[in-house]
Amino acid sequence: MFAPWFVAAIVVASTIVLVAPRVALAHAVLVSSQPGANSTVSGPEVAVLLKYNSRVDMAHSTLTLLAPDGRVEKVAIESEPEPGLLSAKLTGLVKGAYVLRWQVLATDGHITRGKVSFQVQ
């Protein structure tokens, strides 16, 4: 049969193959948000909090807001209260459907994008 060192080498190699892709996939995924996806909030001021599963680079992350009238405007990221949490403030929102689009750079160098749709009543 196989020598113990050979079996050990196979185990180590398999472990590396199984673990490596997970490390490579450690880019930022949105865990939760405020406003929540498809939620209804009150305007005209809406506080935004985006929580990611990993640390993000605030300076290389962007937010844009698609308004009910079709206008798209850039939203300034105010702060990162804790690693992986971005905060911003939306002002002057009228009643209607909005889409907040986000793009963040994770510390693994990967950019991820997504959107949060919500209604202002």
Looking from the CA of 59 toward its CB, the CA atoms found within 13 Å total 1
Closest to Cu ion by CB, 30 vs 90, is: 30
Closest to Cu ion by CB, 27 vs 86, is: 27
CB of 92 to Cu ion, least distance (A): 35
Instruction: For tokens 């049969």, name the residue.
Output: 1
CB of 110 to Cu ion, least distance (A): 3
What residues make contact with Cu ion under the rule CB under 5 A? 27, 108, 110
CB of 19 to Cu ion, least distance (A): 14
Looking from the CA of 67 toward its CB, the CA atoms found within 13 Å total 14
Q: Which pair of structure tokens corresponds to residue 61?
A: 């992350």
